[in-house]
Amino acid sequence: MAKAKTVFFCSECGNESLKWVGKCPGCGSWNTMVEEPKKPKSTTNGLFQKEHSHKPNKITTINTDDAIRYHTSYQEFNRVLGGGIVRGSLVLIGGDPGIGKSTLLLQVAANVGTKDTVLYVTGEESEQQIKNRAERLGLTPDQLYIYSENNTHDIIKHIELLNPSLVIVDSIQTVFVPDITSAPGSVSQVRECTSNFMRLAKTKQIPIFIVGHVTKDGAIAGPRVLEHMVDTVLYFEGERYNTYRILRAVKNRFGSTNEIGIFDMKEKGLEEVLNPSGVFLEDRSYGYAGASVVAAMEGTRPVLVEIQSLLSPTSFGNPKRMSQGIDYNKLSLLIAVLEKRLGLLLQNQDAYIKVTGGVKLVEPAVDVAILCSIVSSYKDQSLSPYDIFIGEVGLTGEIRRVARIEERIKEAHKMGFKRVFIPAKNKKSLSLNLKDFTIVGVNDIEELVKNAFEKQNDF
């Protein structure tokens, strides 16, 4: 009997090799090559050959209008997708187990199912389990169809027969193509199944959401080519002991990237949070040293969050540095700037920095707020609870301009703040006139600390 032919696939990028190699020649990752049976020459491409009669069109003759999107009643969900669900799009959503991916998509499916036909394909649960969850959440629309199946060919056949307005596949690691002998969830199975769903979405103009499992590091399991094939990649994040969930777009061909939507996990499902700044500041510290507030941009929306710092004398030769919500290297850089430009003796202080609410801040505009919270803890002197800080700090101690400053200031004024510290160059181009609100422009960190820690005004 002839020996079955096998090839090696990279679990990161999907690169194919005839023999095992320690380093993938495609992406350069080490120890990522896995052995799987070779894919037969006959593929499922024939299912879609009837659609190949479509001819190229001039860009000037292609119609684009608002009807290309489905608008759900969840504003936060629409925001993350760039304004709604795009027809013919393929969306990948990942997240930790139990975070609420299936609950979110079931609520979206039920919302769309009140007007249009929706097919929810589950490969992990039975139809009765989905029905029980829907009844618990109070979601039983007439146009929502549940289909428990793992065979991709059968799923595609029923999609073509039903012709729904929305399809949800939960999850991509549980479905398989019979032509490939490897197990569901393998590199070749995930890649081929996603390719079939992508062709179906584009040819039938049906939006398809696929759920992806994540690895221990939080990345979506399977080859990285999976994220390149889809139109949008969403991550559903949240702390295990916190009810708030963050839906983040890291790739979006139809809208802004790094957009977030905030949801609150309740007994009746996920409820959207329309005012995230109020949520992140509802438990803020008043009158304590080491706390400052920053207006950070998350996609197209400014969000106010609190940054807390704690400095204490070290008991060892090397001071400890810990950060949660900001990059560790950014913390080390700002501490070095404070030591060099302001002469603060921080080399014998342990530094602990935290961003409240579980938010991760990566943009440069949060530098000033982090710096002020560190100085506040070092001096053991609290900042005014009505002050907010925006700006990037350079290595020479200068405060550099940031983008979208007017939107940040308006959000701070709306939330009841009275004074904002911004780069002096940003202030020159401002044309805002806000009542009972002071805008202070600063050029360097020495001027910033002098103005922020002087005798506090009674606002």
Determine whether the annotation assigns residue 97 to a binding site. yes
Sheet strand arrangement including 208-212? 144-148, 118-122, 166-170, 208-212, 90-95, 232-237, 244-252, 260-266, 269-272
Determine whether the annotation assigns residue 101 to a binding site. yes
As beta bridge partners, residue 24 has none
- Return the amino acid letter for 114: T
Determine whether the annotation assigns residue 95 to a binding site. yes
Determine whether the annotation assigns residue 98 to a binding site. yes
Determine whether the annotation assigns residue 212 to a binding site. no
- The encoded tokens of residue 372 equal 């002020």
Q: Pick the closest to residue 394 from 451, 448, 445 (CA basis).
A: 445
Contacts of 160 (CB under 8 A, 6+ apart): 200, 204
Q: What are phi and psi of 106, to 5 degrees?
A: -65, -40
What separation, in Å, do the N-terminal and C-terminal C-alpha atoms of the chain show? 87
**In angstroms, rounded to a whole number, what is the distance separating the alpha carbons of residues 333 and 259?**
27
Determine whether the annotation assigns residue 142 to a binding site. no
Determine whether the annotation assigns residue 26 to a binding site. no
DSSP for residue 382: P
Determine whether the annotation assigns residue 102 to a binding site. yes
**In angstroms, rounded to a whole number, what is the distance separating the alpha carbons of residues 203 and 91?**
16
Q: Is the distance from CB of 357 to CB of 262 less than 8 angstroms? A: no
Q: Is the distance from CB of 102 to CB of 170 less than 8 angstroms? A: yes
CA 61, 257, 91, 116 torsion: positive or negative? negative
Q: What are phi and psi of 23, to 5 degrees?
A: -115, 125
Summarize the annotated binding site as residue ranges: 95-102
Summarize the annotated binding site for ATP as residue ranges: 95-102
